[in-house]
Amino acid sequence: MESHAAYKSRWLPWVLLSPTFIILLLFLYYPTLRTFELSLYRVAFLGLRKKFVGLANYKVLFTNPDYLHIFWNTAVFAFFVVMGSMAVGLALSVLANQKVSGWRIYRILLIWPYALSPAVAGVIFLFLFNEQSGIVNYLLKVTIGIAPGWLTQPALAMALIIFAAVWKNVGYNVVFYIAGLQNLPGEVLEAALIDGASPWQRFWKITFPLLSPMTFFLLIINTIYAFFETFPFVDLLTQGGPNGATNILIFNIYRDGFRFWKTGMAAAESVVLFIGVVILTVLQFRLGEGRIHYGG
């Protein structure tokens, strides 16, 4: 076969690929399968004893109001984080893409937050938004005389962790959007300019559709970020409080699994999260098909 032209031997490619496959098998596929299996058991802490219970864990997940609350929180959180970080990322990229003096500095400053680890970002936000001794409340008190309870009011606490998660990920979106903007075919925009299209029209009718492959890619990446990588913000800022108002699934999995030692429940939650993200990704591919313009 032609495709084997580079390698004389049939199995050499497999040998070369094997390290990757072994790592995937050991650290990804095997644990995933074990998680599916564990979710059907009631496990005494850390697997010391376990008993098959069928779908009982899932039944608790979908009937207990506390867990339903967590699902709702997760949906709200993920929606606003994805929308927020992509919209802000796009807006900033368009601005940073303009030829203004000092553009290099603007771009570096925009990308900077992404280089911080989420744990560091979480601690910074904790210092900023501490109700009694944070800088934000100090300034607010001096200027307009209010001191909101950022971490004690459920809605504010949720808004704060969304803000922190958006702030952290905007830089990533900016990098990709700027790259996308710079690769746009100049002649199309030029033609529009000559035809007298307003900047607003040029953006929504030409730039945005031409960026759609990038938007689609970022949509999936941001969705994964919102569901899986936002744990440190909740852990450091709110611990899921006040009264579970910021408890999102990824944090609760950790808490159930490693603090409350309910391994079976944590496994069932992982499976639900896994399936949820798979469904979302498939939906995004389905809905995206035909609407995305891959420029030639």
Partner 1 sequence: MKRLATILGLSVLMSFSFAAQKIQITFWHAFGGGRTAFIQRMVDDFNYTHPGIQVKAEYKGSYRDTLNAAILAAKQGNAPHIVQIFEVGSQMAIDSGIFVPIEDYVPASLKFQLDDYIKPVANYYRIKGKFNSIPWNSSNPILYYNKDIFKKAGLDPNNPPKTFSEVTKACEKIIASKAAPKCITWPLHSWFVEQWVAEQGALLANNENGRAARATDVYINSEAMKRIMKWWKGLYDKGYYAYTGKPEDWDGANQLFVSQQAAMEITSTSDVTFHQNAAYENGYHLGTGFLPVPDGIERNGTVVGGASLWLTKGHPQKEQEAALTFLLWFTNTENMVRWHKGTGYFPVLNTSVKVLDWQHWFTRNPAYKAAFDQLLQSKANRATQGALIGPFPEIRTIIENMVQEIFQGEDIAKALAKADAKADQALKDYNASVAK
Those residues with Cβ within 8 angstroms of residue 8's Cβ, 6 or more apart along the chain or in another chain: none
Asked whether 16 and 34 are in contact (CB, 8 A), the reply is: no
Q: Which of residues 154-193 bind partner 1 (CB under 8 A)?
A: 154, 157
Q: Is 49 in the site for partner 1 (CB under 8 A)?
A: yes
Residue in 262, 266, 269, 271 binding partner 1, rule: CB under 8 A: 262
In order of 36, 85, 224, 285, 286, the CA distances from 250 in angstroms are: 16, 19, 11, 24, 26
135, 111, 133, 288: which is closest to 215 by C-alpha? 288
Residue number with CB closer to partner 1 (112 or 127) = 127
Q: How many CA atoms lie within 13 A of 203 on its CB side?
A: 9
Asked if 135 is part of the footprint of partner 1 (rule: CB under 8 A), the reply reads no
Position among 35, 36, 42, 83 found at the interface with partner 1 (CB under 8 A): 42
Task: Based on the shown chain and the rule CB under 8 A, indicate whether residue 224 belongs to the binding site for partner 1.
Answer: no
145 binds partner 1 (CB under 8 A): no
Q: Which two tokens stand for residue 20?
A: 């990757």
Site for partner 1 contains 59 (CB under 8 A):
no
d(CA 46, CA 261): 6
Minimum distance between the CB of residue 12 and partner 1, rounded to whole angstroms?
37
Q: Does 255 bind partner 1 (CB under 8 A)?
A: yes
Give the nearer residue to partner 1 in terms of CB position, either 135 or 191.
135
Q: Which residue lies nearer to partner 1 by CB, 150 or 177?
A: 150
Task: Give the Cα-Cα-Cα angle 134, 138, 143 (nearest 5 degrees).
Answer: 150
Contact call for residue 69 and partner 1 (CB under 8 A): no
- Other beta carbons within 10 angstroms of residue 137's beta carbon come to 19
Asked if 131 touches partner 1 (CB under 8 A), the answer is yes
By residue count, the chain amounts to 296
Cα radius of gyration (the chain): 24
- Cα angle 80, 85, 89 (rounded to 5 degrees) comes to 150
Smaller CB separation from partner 1, 130 or 281: 130
Measuring CA to CA, how many Å separate 2 from each of 8, 210, 242? Answer: 11, 36, 63
Burial class (CB in 10 A: 0-12, 13-18, 19+), 186: exposed
**Is the Cβ of residue 16 or residue 68 nearer to partner 1 in the bound state?**
68
Whose Cβ is closer to partner 1: residue 157's or residue 219's? 157
**107 or 262: CB nearest partner 1:** 262
Binds partner 1 (CB under 8 A): choice among 4, 66, 139, 228: 66
Smallest distance, partner 1 to C-beta of residue 281, A:
32
- What single-letter amino acid sits at 29? Y
Minimum CB distance to partner 1 smaller for 4 or for 141:
141
Rule CB under 8 A: is residue 1 a binding residue for partner 1? Answer: no
Residues within the interface to partner 1 (CB under 8 A): 42-49, 51, 66, 126, 130-133, 149-152, 154, 157, 237-239, 241-244, 255, 258-262
